[in-house]
């Protein structure tokens, strides 16, 4: 799969759209549809086992269910990896680390770019 750069798991970073290299991914992680990989930068998702330096496998989608871990694009410029929750017409992007606050946005400020389907860790 193409490794499309880094995704923030902490403070959001600029959106990524270029292939930096390719990574081998087990076929069992892939379902129908397009996929890509991102290197995780930060520790905001550590309590669900996603650590700084891990590579996440993402299936491209523009929709998500409450509880999914997604790549979210905020205000068309910053991308972040967070748990997705829909609440009263708002979108909550939740970290899995108590050191980070949940960020809540109007629905029109958040675009889902993909959903987490796999994780690759190198020791």
Q: Give one DSSP letter per residue of 60-117, joined into a string.
A: E-S---TT-EEEEEETTTEEEEEEEEEETTEEEEE-SSTTS--EEEEGGGEEEEEEEE
> Which listed residue (17, 41, 82, 111) is catalytic?
82
Residue 113, burial from CB neighbour count under 10 angstroms (0-12, 13-18, 19+): buried
Selection from 79, 6, 77, 2 nearest residue 38 by Cα: 6
Q: Is 82 in the active site?
A: yes
Overall size of the chain counted in residues: 123
Alpha carbons within 13 angstroms on the beta-carbon side of residue 77 total: 1
> Which listed residue (31, 41, 44, 111) is catalytic?
44
Q: Is 17 in the active site?
A: no
Which residues are annotated as catalytic? Answer: 44, 82
């Amino acid at each position: 799969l193409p490794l499309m750069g880094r995704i923030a798991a902490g403070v959001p970073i600029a959106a990524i759209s270029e292939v930096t290299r390719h990574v081998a991914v087990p076929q069992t992680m892939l379902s129908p549809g397009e996929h890509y990989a991102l290197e995780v930068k930060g520790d905001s998702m550590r309590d669900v086992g996603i650590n700084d330096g891990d590579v996440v496998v993402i299936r491209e989608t523009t929709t998500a269910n409450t509880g999914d871990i997604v790549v979210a694009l905020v205000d068309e410029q910053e991308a972040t990896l967070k748990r997705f929750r829909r609440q009263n017409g708002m979108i909550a992007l939740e970290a899995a680390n108590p050191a980070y606050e949940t960020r809540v946005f109007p629905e029109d400020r958040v675009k889902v770019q993909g959903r987490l389907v796999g994780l690759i860790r190198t020791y």
